[in-house]
Amino acid sequence: MDKINKIAILTGGGDCPGLNAVIRAATRTAVLKYGVEVAGFINGYKGLYLGHTVKLNMDKISGILPMGGTIIYTSNKTNLFQFPFVEEGETVYRDVSDVGVQNLKNAGIDALIVIGGDGTLTSARDFYRKGVKVVGVPKTIDNDLAYTDVSFGFDTAVSVATEAMDRLHTTAASHHRIMCLEVMGRYAGWIALEAGIAGGADAILIPEIPYDIEKVAEAVIRRRHAGKDFSIIVVAEGAKPISGEMVVSKLVEDSPDPIRLGGIATQVANELEAMVGLETRATILGHLQRGGTPTSNDRILSTRYGKAAVDLVMEGKFGHMVTLRGNRLSSAPLEDVIGNLKNVDPQGDMVETAKSIGISFGD
Q: Tell me which residues are annotated as active site.
A: 142
User: What is the β-pairing status of strands 83-87 and 90-94?
Assistant: antiparallel
Q: Do residues 327 and 321 lie in contact, with contact meaning Cβ atoms separated by under 8 Å?
A: no
- Tell me which amino acid residue 100 is: G
Distance separating alpha carbons of residues 281 and 278, to the nearest angstrom: 10
Strand partners, 114: 10, 136
Residue burial 278-301, b: 16+ Cβ < 10 Å; e: rest: bebbbbbbeeebbeeebbebbbbb
Give residue 229's identity as a one-letter amino acid code.
D
Contact 196, 359 (CB under 8 A): yes
Inter-residue contact 127 to 100 (CB < 8 Å): yes
CA distance linking residue 195 with residue 1, whole number of Å: 46
Q: Alpha-carbon distance 270 to 336, whole Å?
A: 42
Residue type, 78: T
Q: Give the 3-state secondary structure of residue 332.
A: strand
SS3 of residue 234 by DSSP: strand
